Amino acid sequence: MLLTHLSLINFKNCTDISIELNSSVNCFLGNNGEGKTNVLDAIYYLSNTKSYFNSIDSQNIKFGEPFFVAQGKFSINEETTNVYCGVKKGAKKQFKFNKKSYLKLAEHIGKFPVVIITPYDSNLILEGSETRRKFLDRLISQFNKPYLENLIAYNKLLNQRNATLKQMAESQRFNADLLAVIDMQLIEKGNFVHQERKQFLNEFIPIFNHFYKDISNQNEKVTLTYTSTLNDNSFEQLLNDNIAKDRVVTYTTKGIHKDDLEFKIMDDYSLKKFASQGQQKSFLIALKLAQFEYIKKKKGFSPILLLDDIFDKLDESRVNYILQMIAHKKLGQTFITDTSLNKVTNILSKLKVNFKSFEIKQGGATLITEDNQEL
């Protein structure tokens, strides 16, 4: 899959950008704050119908402007698709596939997959379980439509259940029948999501292990585990066993909304507390490369890879690992940001990788290198 053209108007601080892209590597270079990460985010946006960094659409409009437009030309097996997104303050978001609006935005998810590696990935280790579930959900949704539908339905039913628990507590009138019909639906959706997560991780974890071993070059063992209260008990049993507690706290204490991915080192030590910075970084890159590999396997083509600021934030050996993959054409079309105007391009030239580079300055883009020739 390729992104052949990208144009942005007022997307964050990108005022007016319209660029033709290289099919292997594109570099966005410039100082921090000039907008290079925003260009990557725009690509992420066109793939996922939302920003990686800020899910509030109106906040992705350039300050003081009334709207933004992001457009990309994607091509899969020679077939070209125009993806258009327009967001105007106070109006419904326009998201179009070859000029046709979607009935539901969710229909777009997974058509043009991207994988992003950014310094913010450390949130996967540092933050609460919600961040890891989001990672899991976004990834599975890329190729599993029923998963996304069931998950959305589950969340709505969960809200229904929690609101019902609250109202029953306030009115002091318990309606077992109402709770039973909500539970019945919740159990059906929850079991589906749980099964799909389990099956996904059965396939995903070996790929992850392979990458981690490859990157770390060390003997320390890390483990990625899927934890869910549904692993050992039926959801129905869990809801029944915890109803007294749920009624007291007035929310649902058990279910797939509490699932997590556990990151551990040396069998039983938390990665967050006991692993070195280097080990954590290797872990995250392995996670993202496994995501790349998994999507590639499922879709039959490489997703787009977005590398945000990795030269500043990663050490040489890990950067080299990724560059070697690029040089050996193991990755697909790749987009790289860096602060230095020539560091990345020098390395890519040495590796004989074909690339284009753009200088991003004050929200505009200037082509500075094409087919490895400085202009």
Positions that interact with another protein (CB under 8 A): 103, 153, 156-157, 159-161, 163-164, 167, 171, 173, 175, 177-178, 180-182, 184-185
Q: What is the 3-state secondary structure (H, E, C) of 38-92?
A: HHHHHHHHHHHCCCCCCCCHHHHECCCCCEEEEEEEEEECCEEEEEEEEEECCCC
User: Smallest distance from the beta carbon of 97 to another protein, in angstroms?
Assistant: 18
Cα angle vertex 22, ends 19, 28, to 5°?
Answer: 60
Q: How many CB atoms lie within 10 A of CB 76?
A: 14
Question: Nearest CA to 1 among 210, 244, 271, 302?
Answer: 302
Residue (164 or 342) nearer to another protein, CB: 164
Residue (160 or 223) nearer to another protein, CB: 160
User: Smallest distance from the beta carbon of 108 to another protein, in angstroms?
Assistant: 17
Q: Indicate the burial class of 197 (C-beta count within 10 angstroms; 0-12, 13-18, 19 or more).
A: buried
> CA–CA separation, 193 vs 201, rounded Å?
12
Tell me how long the chain is: 375
User: Smallest distance from the beta carbon of 250 to another protein, in angstroms?
Assistant: 12
Residue (180 or 367) nearer to another protein, CB: 180
Output the six-digit token pair for 146: 């029923």
User: Smallest distance from the beta carbon of 247 to another protein, in angstroms?
Assistant: 14
Residue (188 or 260) nearer to another protein, CB: 188
User: Smallest distance from the beta carbon of 185 to another protein, in angstroms?
Assistant: 7
Residue (156 or 328) nearer to another protein, CB: 156
User: Smallest distance from the beta carbon of 246 to another protein, in angstroms?
Assistant: 14
Residue (181 or 266) nearer to another protein, CB: 181
Question: Nearest CA to 142 among 169, 108, 167?
Answer: 108
